[in-house]
Structure 1
C-alpha cells in the first residue's frame, strides 16, 4: 500500500511536468507568432535577389500610408508614378528611402539595415514577452535573461538605425 508521502511526490512531479509542458508551449507559441509577424515584411527586405529594388521620394503621408514616385535601381524594374510605403515613425515627407517592391502591386518595403531591423521588431517584442514566461513558468532565469536582453537589443538597434 503506497504511503501518503509517495503519493504526494508523484502528484507533485506530475504537476511540475504539466507546468513545464504548458509554459513551454506558451513560450514557443509566442516566439512563433513573433517570427510569423516579422517574416511578412522581413522576407522582402532580406531576400532581395530577383525583386524590384529602387528608391521612393515620399511626397505625402496620410493616416496609414505615405506615397511618392518610385525610381528603379535594379535591372528590369519599371519606374512608377506612385507607390505606397507604410507610414511609420521611420518615414517622413520629403525624404527618399531605399525600398523593395512587393510582387504584383504598388506596395514598397524599406530595405537595407534599417528595413531589416524594423521588420524584426515584432520578434524582439516576442522575445521580451517569452522571457517572462520562461523565467516565471519554466524557472529558467539565465535563458530568460538572454531572451529578454536579445529582444531589448533588437528593438533598441531598430530604434537607433531607423
Structure 2
C-alpha cells in the first residue's frame, strides 16, 4: 500500500511540475521580449488594419537606435483594436511586435496563469495538498484577473 501511495505521489507531483513548466514555456516566447527590453527596439504602433488574426500599422520609434517602419505586425487579440495606438517591443530580426508595459507583461503570462489553475486541481486532488492547491488556484486567478483588467 505504501508503494502505491508513493507512486501516486510521484506521478501526480511530476504531472503538476510538467503542467507548470509547460505554462512557463508557453509564456516565455512573448514574455522575454516584454520583460528583457534592454537593447531591443521600443516604440508605438498605430493599428490601421486587422485581418487573419493579425493587426498591422506604422511603427514610431521611442528608443535610441530604433528606426521607423511603415508596417509592423501584432497578434490580434481582444486587447488590440483598429485605430488605437499601443506601446510595443519589436522581436529581433523581423517586423513582429509584442505589447509592452504592464499590460504586455501580464498578457504574456496568461498561459502560465492557466497552468496554475490546472496544476491546482492536480495538487489538491491528486496529491491531497488542498491548501497548496488553493494557493496555486488563487495565484492563477489573480494573474488572469490582473491581465484582464489591464488589457
Do these two structures clear the TM 0.5 threshold for a shared fold by scoring above it? yes
2:114 is matched with which residue? Answer: 125
2:96 is matched with which residue? Answer: 107
2:68 is matched with which residue? Answer: 79
Number of corresponding residues: 151
1:43 is matched with which residue? Answer: 32
Secondary structure of 2:98's counterpart equals strand
Query: Which portions of structure 1, spanning 4 or more consecutive aligned residues, are displaced by more than 2 angstroms?
Result: none
By how many angstroms is 1:16 displaced? 0.2
By how many angstroms is 1:52 displaced? 0.2
Higher-Rg structure is 1
Unaligned runs of 5+ in 1: 1-11
1:88 is matched with which residue? Answer: 77
Looking at structure 1, the residues matched to 110 and 56 of structure 2 have their Cα atoms a distance apart, in angstroms, of 23
Looking at structure 2, the residues matched to 161 and 76 of structure 1 have their Cα atoms a distance apart, in angstroms, of 29
Indicate yes or no: 2:25 matched with 1:27: no
By how many angstroms is 1:63 displaced? 2.2
Looking at structure 2, the residues matched to 146 and 30 of structure 1 have their Cα atoms a distance apart, in angstroms, of 16
Query: Which of 131, 137, 144 is matched with 2:126 structurally?
Result: 137
Looking at structure 2, the residues matched to 40 and 108 of structure 1 have their Cα atoms a distance apart, in angstroms, of 12
TM-score under structure 1 normalisation?
0.93
Unaligned runs of 5+ in 2: none
CA RMSD after TM alignment: 0.4
Secondary structure of 2:93's counterpart equals coil
